[in-house]
Amino acid sequence: MGKEIKDLDNKKLLIKKIFNYKFKSEKLLIESITHKSISVNNYERLEFLGDSVLQLIITESLYEKHIELDEGALSREKQSLVSRKSLAKLSIDLGINKLLEATNLNLNSTKSLKISIAANLLESIIGAIFLDSNYENCKKIVTKLFYNLLNKKEIIGKKDSKTLLQEYMQSKKLPIPKYKTIRLESPSHSPKFRIICKVSVIKKEQSCVSSTVQDGQQRVSRLILEKLVSEK
């Protein structure tokens, strides 16, 4: 392999802590954190593999979680999650960049080099875990690492809930949602409305109470979208 890794045991422990994974192949582990400045048996090929595995996992996860998003919105969200900047930030936040084995390499020389190395290292370890175990196990690890990013509230290109629900129903060639408004007993200066929505894919009507009809329609639409996701 070239230069011996003196603190290999500590790096094994750090990988176990970050990824909750213990490598069966020490060779793969070492290769996944070795920079080309040390050996020709470096992480570049694993990075290439890990990039593809990561993109598939993120794509699959977004597809399963966000049934309300069209192809364009899914694509934009995926690109945001797997961008070099996003991967580098995650790698640095988790301490993955501390695993790097390199010589004569000043990561602080340029910001772009630091970002590139951090992102590459994350991808190479994902590639190594994929080879050392299997896709399903690798997916569990990646989705846990990306949990906060995959579950963030702000989705790039996301439309309002009422529009998303209508577009979802139309994409399935189903009748569009029907809304019914009931004015509840309440002071004239503080009105309350019960907004009821019925869609063919859910047996029971869904409803909520709101101070405005418009807000109520958005809220009940969001309830239905969340229910569709949870039942998928």
Q: Which residues are catalytic?
A: 51, 123
The token pair that represents 205 in the structure block: 């009507």
Question: Could you give phi then psi for residue 65, rounded to 5 degrees?
Answer: -85, -40
The packing angle between helices 111-132 and 26-33, to 10°, is 160
- CA–CA gap between residue 105 and residue 71 (Å, rounded): 41
- CA–CA gap between residue 120 and residue 53 (Å, rounded): 13
Q: Where are the alpha helices (DSSP H) in the chain?
A: 8-19, 26-33, 44-65, 71-81, 84-94, 111-132, 135-145, 147-150, 161-171, 213-231
Place of tokens 């045991």: 9
